[in-house]
């Protein structure tokens, strides 16, 4: 056991690394040798620890199981050709998990615990990251907080666990996605917690998603719950539309996640000289654009896939197929972001953060 200035470290006796087939990884199924854990009790975050990756012992009445106090983040670490490890805008994830926590009445986490814990964890498990921008090799990082206090009374917990676990991954999506625009089910309420990266925002999407999957789609594009006239986001992605040569996306709100990749896409598009408009987007205008041919592209943005091109949009009984133009924005923007993430290009934005 060693102790950094902040984090107590207990190393795994034996690495599982040799058993891993890096060419056949299923997203989110394989975890590295270590995990970061920090408990909240007696009104404060206790000493953070890095432990061998292991199962948790938790009471059946832990409040996370009953009242859903659980928030998370998704991040990635990338290895460049020289073997250096990089994070992408990690301060955005740190700020957002605290914003999510605040909305769910979970105590905010300590900045130095987060960064030192993450850094130590990635140093210990750095051999789990393969360089390889082309295959999309990276380490997916999942910070999360859960309410561990036992007790079946509906009130905020007084005990929590902040954890970070990591999975080696390849590219997330392999083909263009087929999406259907929601006209009955909804993801989030006005004045709700749709903007929080909260566990409770996901479970409610699975059933409506299953229904559209039965019709041959992959995901739902969510609309506002009042009129279903405004396009908002997909379940795990923010969404963009290219109408003629303009890239359009809706503003964030208390219903819509403030995606780190979303804001990186906007910045990268502008750097590439693409006109970007952030404003409410109606279902009507996008369907009209699809019908008259001015809808040139559409894509989702998110940490796992960076950009997922949308191949087909369904609405009511109709489907609209999109054929990517030669000057495809999504490919240019994705390459621009990946080059920065993998340290294969300059970083005029200051997005990269070296793990060392």
User: Is residue 200 close enough to count as binding a second copy by CB under 8 A?
Assistant: yes
CB 346, min distance to a second copy, A: 32
Q: Which of 118, 188, 243, 265 binds a second copy (CB under 8 A)?
A: 188
203 binds a second copy (CB under 8 A): yes
> Between the CA of residue 8 and those of 20, 32, 75, 116, what are the distances in Å?
27, 18, 23, 11
Q: Please list every residue from 119 through 178 that binds a second copy, using CB under 8 A.
A: 140, 142, 144, 146-147, 150-156, 163, 165, 167
Taking CB under 8 A as the rule, does residue 207 contact a second copy? yes
Return the bridge partners of 86, or none: 78, 354
Q: Which range touches a second copy (CB under 8 A), out of 202-210, 266-274, 313-321, 345-353?
A: 202-210
Choose the binding region for a second copy from 4-12, 55-63, 119-127, 305-313 (rule: CB under 8 A). Answer: 55-63
Q: Which two tokens stand for residue 326?
A: 């030669």
Name which position in 182, 243, 283, 305 contacts a second copy (CB under 8 A): 182
Six-digit token string for 248: 């359009």
Question: What backbone torsions phi and psi does residue 307 show, to the nearest 5 degrees?
Answer: -135, 130
Residues near 281 by beta carbon (within 8 Å), at least 6 away in sequence: 230, 231, 241, 248, 249, 250
Q: What angle do CA 15, 17, 18 make, to 5 degrees?
A: 105
**CA pair distance 90, 78, nearest whole angstrom:** 12
DSSP string, 258-288: --HHHHHHHHHHHHTT-EEEES--BHHHHHH
- Of 38, 77, 97, 104, the one binding a second copy (CB under 8 A) is 104
Stretch binding a second copy (CB under 8 A), from 190-198, 274-282, 313-321, 344-352: 190-198
Q: If binding is defined by CB under 8 A, does position 67 make contact with a second copy?
A: yes
Q: How many CB atoms lie within 10 A of CB 353?
A: 18
- Nearest 5°: the CA angle 317, 321, 324 is 160
Instruction: Verify binding: residue 206, a second copy, rule CB under 8 A.
Output: yes
Regarding 192 and contact with a second copy (CB under 8 A), the answer is yes
- Give the shortest CB-121-to-a second copy separation in angstroms: 13
Helix (H) or strand (E) holding 200, with range, is helix 200-214
Chain contacts with a second copy (rule: CB under 8 A):
27-29, 31, 35, 53, 55-61, 64-70, 72, 102-105, 140, 142, 144, 146-147, 150-156, 163, 165, 167, 182, 184-193, 196, 198-204, 206-207, 210, 225-226, 235-236
């Amino acid at each position: 056991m060693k102790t950094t200035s902040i984090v107590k470290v207990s190393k795994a006796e034996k690495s599982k690394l040799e058993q891993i087939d890096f060419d056949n990884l299923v997203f989110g199924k394989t975890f590295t040798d270590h995990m970061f854990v920090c408990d909240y009790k007696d009104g404060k975050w206790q000493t953070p620890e890095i432990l061998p990756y292991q199962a948790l012992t938790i009471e059946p009445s832990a409040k996370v199981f009953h009242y859903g106090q659980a928030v998370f983040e998704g991040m990635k670490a990338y290895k460049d050709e020289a073997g250096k490890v990089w994070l992408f805008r990690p301060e955005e994830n740190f700020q957002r998990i605290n914003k999510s926590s605040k909305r769910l009445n979970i105590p905010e986490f300590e900045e130095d615990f987060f960064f030192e814990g993450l850094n130590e964890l990635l140093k210990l498990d750095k051999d789990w990251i393969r360089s390889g921008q082309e295959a999309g090799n990276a380490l997916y990082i999942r910070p999360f907080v859960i309410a561990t206090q036992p007790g079946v009374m509906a009130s905020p917990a007084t005990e929590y666990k902040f954890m970070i676990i990591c999975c080696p991954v390849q590219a997330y999506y392999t083909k263009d996605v087929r999406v259907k625009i929601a006209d009955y089910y909804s993801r989030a309420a006005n004045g709700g917690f749709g903007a929080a990266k909260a566990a409770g925002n996901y479970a409610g999407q699975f059933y409506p998603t299953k229904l559209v999957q039965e019709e041959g789609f992959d995901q739902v594009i969510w609309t506002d719950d009042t009129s279903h006239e405004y396009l908002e986001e997909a379940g795990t992605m923010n969404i963009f539309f290219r109408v003629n040569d303009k890239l359009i996306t809706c503003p964030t709100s208390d219903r819509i996640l403030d995606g780190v990749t979303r804001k990186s896409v906007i910045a990268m598009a502008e750097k590439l000289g693409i006109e970007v408009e952030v404003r409410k987007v109606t279902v009507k205008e996008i369907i009209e654009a699809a019908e008259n041919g001015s809808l040139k592209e559409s894509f989702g943005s998110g940490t796992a896939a960076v950009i997922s091109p949308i191949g087909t949009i369904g609405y009511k009984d109709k489907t609209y197929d999109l054929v990517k133009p030669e000057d495809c924005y999504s490919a240019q923007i994705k390459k621009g972001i990946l080059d920065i993430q993998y340290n294969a290009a300059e970083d005029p934005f200051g997005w990269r953060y070296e793990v060392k």
